[in-house]
Amino acid sequence: MTISEKLNLLQRVITEDDALNRTLDKLLDITLAQYREKLEKYDTALRAFESRFDMQSDEFYAKFESGELGDAMDFFEWAGLIELRRDAQQKIEQMVSIE
C-alpha cells in the first residue's frame, strides 16, 4: 500500500475530522522530536570535528567545497555531517512553520 493509499484509508476510516487531525498532529510531533534528536547528535559530532581540526564547520565546508583541503576520509565524513544537519534543520523548520 502506498503512502497516498494509507492517507486516503485513514481519511475514510477516521470519520471525525478532529480525530484525524489529532492523529496527524501526533505523527508530526513524533517526527519533529526525531529530527531534533538527530540534530543534537549531528551538532555533537560536528563540535568534535571542529575541536579536532580547530576550525568552524562553515569555514571548513567552504574550504572543502573549493578543494583547498584534500580528500581525507575525515573531511568527507565532516562534510556529510554538515549536509545531514542542514537537511534535518530544514525539515524541522518546515514542520515548525505549520504548528
Q: Evaluate whether residue 11 is within a structural domain.
A: no
Q: Evaluate whether residue 75 is within a structural domain.
A: yes
Contact 43, 85 (CB under 8 A): yes
Q: What is the pLDDT of residues 17-53, one digit of tens each?
A: 788 888 888 999 999 999 999 999 999 999 999 999 9
Contacts of residues 74-83 at CB distance under 8 Å and 24 or more positions apart, as own/partner, are: 74/49, 77/49, 78/46, 78/49, 78/53, 81/42, 81/45, 81/46, 81/49, 82/46, 82/57
pTM of the model: 0.82
Q: Which three cell numbers stand for residue 71?
A: 580528500
Number of domains in the chain: 1
Question: pLDDT-derived band of residue 98, with 50, 70 and 90 as boundaries?
Answer: confident
Q: Which of 61, 62, 58 is nearest to 77 (CA)?
A: 61
Q: Evaluate whether residue 8 is within a structural domain.
A: no
Q: Evaluate whether residue 55 is within a structural domain.
A: yes
Q: Evaluate whether residue 59 is within a structural domain.
A: yes
Contact 46, 82 (CB under 8 A): yes
Q: Give the domain extent around 43.
A: 16-97
Contact 35, 85 (CB under 8 A): no
Q: What is the pLDDT of residues 50-86, one digit of tens each?
A: 999 999 999 999 999 999 998 899 999 999 999 999 9
Helix (H) or strand (E) holding 86, with range, is helix 73-97
Q: Evaluate whether residue 78 is within a structural domain.
A: yes
